[in-house]
C-alpha cells in the first residue's frame, strides 16, 4: 500500500485551509494531517476540517442512486435507471411547459469546474434561463457593492497576510473566531503589531471579545452607523481630499447623504452611543492605514448592497482604499464562494464574471461552447425568486450542492414549493433534507475523492487533489452532467475529467473580469495557489488589486449616494423582539454534512435561542428551558441560552438544524433590490416560554 500523503484543502469554508490526507487503511480510510507549509492557515485547522473524513464513511454518506417508487418511497436503483428517469422527466417538462420550466439550483461549495459545467449545462443542454445558486444567500450584496464602486468583485482585494500590517481593522458583522477560526491569528498578530481592532456586532461574540472597541448596534442599522461615522469624518475635517480628488468620483452626492446622518440621530437609530462612534472614528482615522471587512451581519439585509456601499464610501473618503495595506474587503463564506460566483451558475452571468446581457460576452462564450450566441437564454430569477416559482412557472428542478429546506428564508413555504414540483432531482453526498424530498437522488463523490479548483476568499485559486478512490456506487458531479448531457443529445462538450473542464474554463474566462487563462493545475501546485486575474501563463497573478487604478472605465472608484432606511420588517406590539441568525463553530451551514459527524454533534448538539437575562426573566424562562419564537412566517422552538453577550431587544438563533428548531421557519424573504439577497439577519418576532 502506498502510504503517500496528498496535499489538498478543506471541503468547508472559504478560508480553504491547506491540509494533507494520509491513508490509514488499505480500504480508502484517510486522516487529516497538518500542512504547515501552506501559508494561509499554516497547519491550523478547526474541528470541522479535522473531522471532514468522517463524512466519507459508508453508512453516513449515500452510496447508490435512489428513485421514488410506485409507493412513493425512495428505493435503490441503478445509475442507468436514475439518469434515464431524470433525462426523461426534464425532457417531458420542457416539451409540455417550455425550457424555462426546468430549473437548476447550484452551490458555492461546488468547485470551479462544477460551477462552470452546471452553468453551461443549463444554458446549452436545457436551454433554460432558470439557474441560480445559494451564493445569492451569501455574499451577493457585497459582490454587487464591489461592482458598483470598484467595477470588479473580488472579496478581498489583498491577501490575508496584509491584515496584521494595517493600522486599524473594522470588522463588521463577522464572527471570524467561530466561522474561520484559523484566521483569528491575523487579528491577534494585528494587535501584537500595535494595530487596533474594532468589531461591530449586536452580540459580544468570541470575535468581539478580541476587539479594542466593540460596538453593538441594533440589527439592521449598520447603514446608519456607517453614515454616522462618515458624517463625523466630514465634520472633523478628516476627509482625504487629495485621494478623493484624484482616485474617486461622486463624492459630493455621497457626502450629502452622510451629512443627513448626524450623530444623535445615528445613536437613536443604532443604539450605539455617540462617544463610542467618535472613538471608533478616531481610532480608525488615527491609524496610518486601515481596512473595513464585512461579513454576513451587515450584508444579509434587504439593504445589504447600500450598507456595504456606505462602508466603501467610508473607506474612500478616508483614503483607505486602493493603497497598500488599506481597503475594503468582504469575507466570502463558502468553500468556493468566490469562484462559484464567477463562472456562470449565477442567473445573470457567463464564465469569467461576464454579463449574460453583454453581446460581446455572449459571442465570446458561445464561441468557446460552439453554439450560436442567440441560442443562449437571458438572465433568470434570483435564488429565492426561483425557489418561490417552483411548482408554478418552474415545474422540474435539479439541485446540486445546496439544502434549501434548511437554509432558505421562509423555509416552511419553500419546503411546500419543493413538494409541489412535478419533478425534483438532487445530487448530494448525503441524504439531506432536500434530497429526502426528491424523486431521484444521485450520490456524488466528495472532496477527497476527486480533483478540482476552488477560489478562496483571497481570490487565490487552489487545487484540491484526489486522495482516495470513491466507493463503487457513486459518481462525480461532472460525470453526472456528462451522462445527462449525453442522454439529452449533447454527447460532446461535457467532459468528466476536471482538468479538461478547467482548461475550457480558462478559455471561456479569457479577457473577462475574472480571467483565469494563465492558471494551470501545475502552477497552482507549484505556487500554493494563483491569484486572479491572471491573463497568461507568464503573468504572476494579482494578489493586490486597485493599487494604481480601480476597475471602472475611468479608473476611479465610484462613491454611491446612500441613505439609511429601516429594515423590511420592524418590531411592533405583536412582534416586539428582533431575531437575528448565524452560525456556531462546530456546525456548517444546513448541517447536512457536519450533523453527521459525532465529534461535532457532541460540541453543538442542537439549536438554541440566545437571549439576554432581562428578556428571559420577562418571559419566564430559565437556562435550557424551551423558548417558542414566532414570526409572521412561522414558529420555532429551541432551548434558551441566556447570556449578557446579546442586546436586550434581540435574540439569536443558529440556522444549522431542520425541524422544530429551524431558524429559517421564521426569517423574512424580503430581498435587496440590487443583489436580491434575503433579509436573514433581521425580522420581528415574539418570544415566549414554550412550556
Ligand atoms: N462554523 C461555521 N463556519 C462557517 C460557516 C458555518 O456554517 N459554520 N459558513 C461559512 C459561510 S458560507 C459563511 S457565509 C461565513 C459567515 O461568517 P459570518 O458572517 O462570520 O457568520 P454569521 O454567524 O452568519 O454572522 C456573523 C455575525 O453577524 C452578526 N450580526 C447579526 N445581525 C447583524 C447586524 O445587523 N449587523 C451586524 N453588524 N452584525 C450582525 C451576528 O451576531 C454574527 O455574530 O461562515 C463560513 N464559515
Ligand atoms: N437564517 C439563516 N439562513 C442562512 C444563512 C444565515 O446566516 N441565516 N446563511 C446563508 C448562507 S451565507 C449560505 S452560504 C447558505 C448555505 O446553505 P446551503 O446551500 O443549504 O449550504 P450547505 O448546507 O453547505 O448545503 C450544501 C449541500 O450540498 C452538499 N454538497 C457538498 N458538497 C457537494 C458537492 O461537491 N456536490 C454536490 N452535489 N453536493 C455537495 C451537502 O451535503 C449539502 O447537502 O445558507 C444561507 N441561509
Ligand atoms: S476554517 Fe474553514 S477551511 Fe479551515 S478547517 Fe475550518 S472549515 Fe475548513
Ligand atoms: Mo455563506
| Ligand nearest to the CA of residue 35, numbered in listed order | 3
d(CA 657, CA 624): 17
Alpha helices (runs of H) in 443-476, residue ranges in sequence order: none
Average pLDDT, the chain: 97
Our answer on whether the CB atom of 222 is closer than 6 Å to any ligand 1 atom is yes
Alpha helices (runs of H) in 6-157, residue ranges in sequence order: 47-51, 79-97, 112-120, 140-150
b/e map 517-543, b = 16+ CB within 10 Å: bbbbbebbeeeebbbbbbbeeeeebbb
How many CB atoms are closer than 10 A to CB 158? 24
- What mean pLDDT do residues 225-253 have? 98
- Going by C-alpha positions, the residue among 374, 336, 386 that lies closest to residue 100 is 386
- What mean pLDDT do residues 370-377 have? 98
691, 626 Cβ separation under 8 angstroms? yes
- Residue owning the nearest CA to atom 30 of ligand 2: 401
- Going by C-alpha positions, the residue among 398, 403, 357, 404 that lies closest to residue 379 is 357
- Residue owning the nearest CA to atom 4 of ligand 3: 17
Question: 3-class SS at 176?
Answer: helix
| Ligand nearest to the CA of residue 42, numbered in listed order | 3
- What mean pLDDT do residues 74-83 have? 98
- Residue owning the nearest CA to atom 42 of ligand 1: 203
Percent helix, percent strand, percent coil in the chain, to nearest 5? 35, 20, 45
- What mean pLDDT do residues 618-630 have? 98
Residue 1 has pLDDT above 50, yes or no: no
Ligand 2: residue of 134, 664, 676 to mutate (most ligand atoms within 8 A of CB) is 134
| Ligand nearest to the CA of residue 9, numbered in listed order | 3
d(CA 173, CA 330): 11
How does pLDDT run across 120-140, given as a tens digit for each residue? 999 999 999 999 999 999 999
Ligand 3: residue of 16, 182, 336, 600 to mutate (most ligand atoms within 8 A of CB) is 182
d(CA 343, CA 515): 10
Q: Is the pTM of this model over 0.85?
A: yes
Gap from CA of 585 to ligand 3 centroid (Å): 10
| Ligand nearest to the CA of residue 107, numbered in listed order | 2
CA dihedral (534, 20, 603, 591) positive or negative: positive
- Residue owning the nearest CA to atom 13 of ligand 2: 138
- Residue owning the nearest CA to atom 1 of ligand 3: 180
How does pLDDT run across 509-557, given as a tens digit for each residue? 999 999 999 999 999 999 999 999 999 999 999 999 999 999 999 999 9
Residue 472 has pLDDT above 50, yes or no: yes
Instruction: Name the strand (E) or helix (H) holding 312.
Output: helix 304-317
Residue 463 burial (10 A CB sphere; 0-12, 13-18, 19+):
buried
d(CA 470, CA 487): 24
Question: Confidence band (pLDDT; 50, 70, 90) for 3?
Answer: low
Q: Strands 609-611, 634-642: parallel, antiparallel or unpaired by DSSP?
A: parallel
Atom of ligand 1 nearest to the CA of 585: 1
Predicted pLDDT at 26: 80
How does pLDDT run across 280-332, given as a tens digit for each residue? 999 999 999 999 999 999 999 999 999 999 999 999 999 999 999 999 999 99
Residue 597 burial (10 A CB sphere; 0-12, 13-18, 19+):
buried
Atom of ligand 3 nearest to the CA of 9: 3
Predicted pLDDT at 25: 85
Gap from CA of 78 to ligand 1 centroid (Å): 40
Atom of ligand 2 nearest to the CA of 110: 35
Amino acid at each position: 500500500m502506498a502510504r503517500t500523503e496528498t496535499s489538498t484543502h478543506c471541503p468547508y469554508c472559504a478560508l480553504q485551509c491547506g491540509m494533507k490526507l494520509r491513508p490509514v487503511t488499505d480500504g480508502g480510510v484517510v486522516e487529516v494531517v497538518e500542512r504547515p507549509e501552506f501559508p494561509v492557515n499554516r497547519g491550523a485547522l478547526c474541528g470541522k476540517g479535522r473531522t471532514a473524513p468522517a463524512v466519507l464513511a459508508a453508512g453516513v454518506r449515500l452510496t447508490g442512486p435512489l428513485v421514488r417508487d410506485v409507493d412513493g418511497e425512495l428505493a435503490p436503483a441503478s445509475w442507468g435507471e436514475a439518469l434515464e428517469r431524470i433525462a426523461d422527466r426534464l425532457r417531458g417538462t420542457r416539451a409540455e411547459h417550455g425550457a424555462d420550466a426546468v430549473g437548476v439550483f447550484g452551490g458555492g461549495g461546488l468547485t470551479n469546474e462544477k460551477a462552470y459545467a452546471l452553468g453551461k449545462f443549463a444554458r446549452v443542454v436545457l436551454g433554460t434561463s432558470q439557474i441560480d445558486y445559494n451564493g445569492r444567500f451569501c455574499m451577493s450584496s457585497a459582490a454587487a457593492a464591489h461592482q458598483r464602486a470598484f467595477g470588479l468583485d473580488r472579496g478581498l482585494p489583498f491577501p490575508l497576510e496584509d491584515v496584521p500590517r494595517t493600522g486599524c481593522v473594522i470588522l463588521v458583522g463577522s464572527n471570524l473566531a467561530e466561522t474561520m477560526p484559523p484566521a483569528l491569528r491575523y487579528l491577534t498578530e494585528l494587535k501584537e503589531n500595535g494595530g487596533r481592532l474594532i468589531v461591530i456586532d449586536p452580540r459580544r461574540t468570541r470575535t468581539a471579545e478580541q476587539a479594542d472597541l466593540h460596538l453593538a448596534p441594533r440589527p439592521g442599522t449598520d447603514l446608519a452607523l456607517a453614515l454616522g461615522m462618515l458624517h463625523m469624518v466630514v465634520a472633523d475635517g478628516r476627509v482625504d481630499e487629495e485621494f478623493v480628488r484624484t482616485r474617486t468620483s461622486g463624492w459630493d452626492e455621497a457626502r450629502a447623504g452622510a451629512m443627513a446622518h448626524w450623530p444623535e440621530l445615528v445613536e437613536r437609530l443604532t443604539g450605539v452611543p455617540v462617544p463610542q462612534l467618535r472613538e471608533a472614528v478616531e481610532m480608525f482615522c488615527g491609524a496610518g492605514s486601515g481596512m473595513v471587512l464585512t461579513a454576513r451581519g451587515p450584508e444579509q439585509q434587504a439593504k445589504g448592497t447600500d450598507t456595504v456601499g456606505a462602508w466603501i464610501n467610508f473607506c474612500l473618503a478616508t483614503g483607505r482604499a486602493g493603497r497598500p495595506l488599506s481597503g475594503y474587503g468582504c469575507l466570502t463564506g463558502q468553500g468556493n464562494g468566490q469562484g462559484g460566483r464567477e463562472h456562470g451558475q449565477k442567473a445573470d452571468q457567463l464564465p469569467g464574471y461576464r454579463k449574460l446581457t453583454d453581446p460581446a460576452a455572449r459571442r465570446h462564450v458561445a464561441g468557446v461552447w460552439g453554439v450560436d450566441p442567440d441560442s443562449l437564454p437571458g438572465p433568470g430569477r434570483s435564488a429565492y425568486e426561483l425557489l418561490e416559482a417552483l411548482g408554478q412557472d418552474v415545474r422540474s428542478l435539479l439541485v446540486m450542492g445546496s439544502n434549501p429546506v434548511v437554509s432558505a428564508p421562509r423555509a416552511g413555504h419553500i419546503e411546500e414549493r419543493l413538494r409541489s414540483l412535478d419533478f425534483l432531482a438532487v445530487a448530494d453526498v448525503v441524504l439531506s433534507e432536500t434530497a429526502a424530498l426528491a424523486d431521484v437522488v444521485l450520490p456524488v463523490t466528495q472532496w477527497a475523492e476527486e480533483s478540482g479548483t476552488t477560489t478562496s476568499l483571497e481570490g487565490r485559486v487552489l487545487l484540491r487533489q484526489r486522495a482516495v478512490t470513491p466507493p463503487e456506487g457513486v459518481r462525480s458531479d461532472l460525470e453526472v452532467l456528462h451522462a445527462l448531457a449525453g442522454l439529452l443529445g449533447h454527447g460532446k462538450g461535457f467532459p468528466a475529467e476536471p482538468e479538461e473542464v478547467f482548461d475550457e474554463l480558462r478559455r471561456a474566462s479569457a479577457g473577462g473580469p475574472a480571467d483565469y487563462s494563465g492558471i494551470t493545475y501545475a502552477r497552482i501546485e507549484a505556487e500554493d495557489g494563483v491569484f486572479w486575474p491572471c491573463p497568461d501563463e507568464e503573468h504572476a497573478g494579482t494578489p493586490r488589486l486597485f493599487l494604481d487604478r480601480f476597475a471602472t472605465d475611468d479608473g476611479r472608484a465610484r462613491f454611491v449616494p446612500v441613505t439609511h432606511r429601516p429594515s423590511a420588517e420592524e418590531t411592533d406590539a405583536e412582534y416586539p423582539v428582533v431575531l437575528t441568525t448565524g452560525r456556531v463553530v462546530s456546525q456548517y451551514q444546513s448541517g447536512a454534512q457536519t450533523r453527521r459527524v459525532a465529534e461535532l454533534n457532541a460540541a453543538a448538539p442542537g439549536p438554541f435561542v440566545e437571549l439576554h437575562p432581562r428578556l428571559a426573566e420577562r418571559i419566564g424562562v430559565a437556562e435550557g428551558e424551551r423558548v417558542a419564537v414566532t414570526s409572521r412566517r412561522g414558529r420555532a422552538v429551541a432551548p434558551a441560552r441566556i447570556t449578557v453577550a446579546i442586546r436586550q431587544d434581540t435574540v439569536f438563533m443558529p440556522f444549522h438544524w431542520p425541524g422544530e428548531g429551524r431558524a429559517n421557519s421564521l426569517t423574512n424573504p424580503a430581498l435587496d433590490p440590487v443583489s436580491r439577497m434575503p433579509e436573514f439577519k433581521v425580522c420581528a418576532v415574539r418570544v415566549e416560554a414554550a412550556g
